[in-house]
């Protein structure tokens, strides 16, 4: 069990249990993960900063605590990575930006502080596009993040490095952020579990709002923090630690209505579930459509739920999404950065170069509310809604998005409308592995719950994992290490 390969194949919950019982030393565990990073990250480029020395020191201290019989936290000695949009005071938070190349926050984000307080050991920060404004791990500072299932393909974004790290066993636990699909999309493309909990479940602070570094924006009304893991249990474990109110985030929710770890062990029950392959307007890759339809049928055939094909009456809302991003962005600060040559990403430059009027932003707010109302009415008839997470499998690493879907150019295909509406509504949503394409690329199924009903979403994911297990399938570059 103590070999590097075996330790890295364990879930975070299993690693924590072995540390607690003394069967595995935190020093062994951190050494195993750092050895895996040394072997694979030169190919995958998941990490933009490593804290190798402090991680080893923390592991020694954690080992001593176990030997002394100290009270230890639920993640004691377990390696953890953090997306590089989330503040860490002991490692830089560069955010893929030239303007933030030297930024070291003065304090940890609330979620980071809670995880470290639970005994986790921070091993590094994971790569992102500039400020997270894209679905691929590309920036001018670090090599582009590759997909472990095929390094010629993208791992998605913006939690690009987080997903690549977990999918390759470079640590079993990570925290990402999601303002429009940035947890769920990379989880889908890398064959992982990715959870966007209800808005406010995980408090956000400080969000990199530092007057010395203008331009960084927390998407305050749509951003969620959440886990990317290999198992549903690990996701629940992380949520049990990071969820709960904090007075520094005025949006944070009271706790106590969800027992995260108990929820994933409860029977599913006969739920009413809707499935849509496309919202009625989006182009979806044929293999994605077939795999997610088959995964949805498992809820009826294997789990006894009532499943129907149905969808809220939505239309393409990409324009509204862009306007909502601008509304939540430091537009003035980023335009100044662009003028200094500190922003180069084409999509972000387009966003900054557009002349947004007050009416553009208020119209978008009205369209957002209309979509939220439509989804709320729709969800009165169902416990869950299932969709593809992404319209395509992973796309080539040199692109920002797929070039086309089913022969239709991406700009005309209304690609991947499945995630961002649920950032607007704040509903819980998560991606779970639905299967693999003929080329061996993962595809994700999105599970969406009613407002604040995180428990049913986690319970459904755990039940699906039992009947359609995925955790023992690894990318070839990982199995080649054996």
What pLDDT is recorded for position 219?
Answer: 87
Mean pLDDT of 127-136: 96
- Cross-strand bridge partners of residue 472: none
The 3-state DSSP class for residue 336 equals helix
Quickly tell me which residue has 């005994």 as its tokens: 119
pLDDT > 90 fraction of the chain, expressed in percent and rounded: 92
pLDDT digit string, tens, across residues 319-373 = 999 999 999 998 989 999 999 999 999 999 999 999 999 999 999 999 999 999 9
Mean pLDDT of 61-88: 97
Tell me the backbone φ, ψ of residue 282, rounded to 5 degrees: -90, 145
In 3D space, the residue among 171, 123, 212 whose CA is nearest the CA of residue 12 turns out to be 171
Radius of gyration of the chain (CA): 21
Domain 4-479 in CATH 3.40.50.880? The answer is no
Quickly tell me which residue has 């996701």 as its tokens: 235
Mean pLDDT of 47-57: 98
pLDDT at residue 384 above 80?
A: yes
3-state percent breakdown (helix, strand, coil) of the chain, nearest 5? 40, 15, 45
pLDDT digit string, tens, across residues 437-477 = 999 999 999 999 999 999 999 999 999 999 999 999 999 99
Q: How confident is the model at residue 88 (pLDDT cuts 50, 70, 90)?
A: very high
Measured CA to CA, the distance from residue 133 to residue 322 in angstroms comes to: 10
pLDDT at residue 2 above 60?
A: no
pLDDT digit string, tens, across residues 209-243 = 566 666 676 788 999 999 999 999 999 999 999 99
What pLDDT is recorded for position 4?
Answer: 60
Measured CA to CA, the distance from residue 454 to residue 60 in angstroms comes to: 37
Among 111-120, 176-185, 202-211, where is mean pLDDT lowest?
A: 202-211
Mean pLDDT of 183-193: 98
Contact 227, 194 (CB under 8 A): yes
Measured CA to CA, the distance from residue 244 to residue 208 in angstroms comes to: 20
Helix (H) or strand (E) holding 273: strand 272-275
Contact 26, 19 (CB under 8 A): yes
Mean pLDDT of 309-327: 93
User: Burial code of 255-264, b = ≥16 C-beta within 10 A, e = fewer?
Assistant: eeebebeebb
What pLDDT is recorded for position 411?
Answer: 83
Q: How many residues are recorded in the chain?
A: 482
> For residue 158, is the peptide bond before it cis, meaning its omega torsion is within 30 degrees of 0?
yes
Tell the burial category of 313 from Cβ atoms under 10 Å away from its Cβ (0-12, 13-18, 19+).
exposed
What pLDDT is recorded for position 412?
Answer: 85
Measured CA to CA, the distance from residue 335 to residue 342 in angstroms comes to: 10
Mind telling me the catalytic residues? Answer: 83, 158, 182
pTM of the model: 0.97
Measured CA to CA, the distance from residue 268 to residue 265 in angstroms comes to: 9
What pLDDT is recorded for position 5?
Answer: 60
> To the nearest whole number, what is the mean pLDDT of the chain?
95
Tell me the backbone φ, ψ of residue 307, rounded to 5 degrees: -115, 130
Domain boundaries, the chain: 4-479
């Amino acid at each position: 069990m103590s070999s590097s390969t075996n330790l890295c194949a364990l879930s975070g919950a299993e690693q924590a249990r072995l540390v607690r019982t003394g069967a595995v030393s935190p020093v062994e565990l951190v050494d195993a993960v750092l050895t895996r990073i040394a072997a694979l990250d030169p190919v995958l480029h998941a990490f933009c900063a490593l804290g190798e020395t402090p991680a080893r020191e923390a592991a020694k201290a954690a080992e001593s605590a176990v030997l002394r019989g100290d009270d230890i936290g639920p993640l004691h000695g377990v390696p953890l990575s953090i997306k590089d949009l989330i503040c860490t005071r002991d490692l830089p938070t560069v955010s893929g930006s030239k303007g933030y190349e030297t930024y070291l926050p003065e304090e940890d984000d609330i979620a980071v502080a809670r995880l470290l307080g639970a005994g986790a050991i921070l091993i590094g920060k994971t790569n992102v596009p500039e400020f997270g404004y894209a679905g691929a791990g590309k920036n001018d500072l670090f090599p582009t993040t590759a997909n472990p299932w095929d390094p010629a393909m993208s791992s998605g974004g913006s939690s690009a490095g987080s997903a690549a790290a977990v999918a390759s066993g470079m640590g079993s636990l990570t925290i990402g952020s999601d303002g429009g699909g940035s947890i769920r999309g990379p989880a889908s493309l890398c064959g992982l579990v990715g959870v966007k909990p209800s808005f406010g479940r995980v408090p956000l602070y400080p969000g990199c709002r530092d007057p010395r570094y203008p331009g960084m924006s927390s998407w305050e009304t749509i951003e969620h923090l959440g886990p990317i893991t290999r198992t549903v249990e690990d996701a629940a474990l992380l949520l049990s630690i990071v969820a709960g109110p904090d007075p520094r985030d005025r949006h944070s929710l009271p706790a106590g209505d969800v027992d995260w770890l108990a929820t994933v062990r409860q029977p599913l029950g006969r739920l009413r579930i809707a499935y849509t392959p496309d919202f009625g307007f989006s182009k979806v890759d044929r293999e994605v459509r077939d795999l997610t339809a088959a995964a949805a049928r498992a809820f009826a055939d294997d789990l006894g739920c009532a499943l129907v094909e149905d969808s809220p009456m939505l239309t393409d809302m990409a324009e509204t999404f862009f306007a909502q991003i601008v509304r939540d962005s430091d537009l003035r600060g980023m335009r100044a950065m662009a003028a200094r040559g500190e922003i180069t990403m084409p999509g972000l430059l387009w966003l900054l170069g557009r002349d947004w009027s007050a009416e553009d932003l208020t119209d978008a707010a009205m369209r957002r509310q209309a979509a939220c109302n439509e989804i709320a009415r729709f969800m009165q008839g169902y416990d869950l809604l299932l969709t593809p997470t992404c319209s395509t499998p992973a796309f080539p690493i040199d692109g920002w998005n797929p070039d086309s879907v089913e022969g239709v150019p991406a700009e005309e295909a209304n690609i991947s409308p499945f995630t961002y509406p649920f950032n607007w509504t704040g509903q819980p949503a998560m991606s779970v592995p639905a299967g693999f394409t003929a080329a061996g690329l993962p595809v994700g199924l999105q599970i969406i719950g009613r407002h604040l009903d995180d428990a049913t979403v986690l319970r459904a994911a755990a039940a699906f994992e039992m009947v359609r297990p995925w955790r023992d399938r690894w990318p070839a570059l990982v199995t080649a290490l054996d």
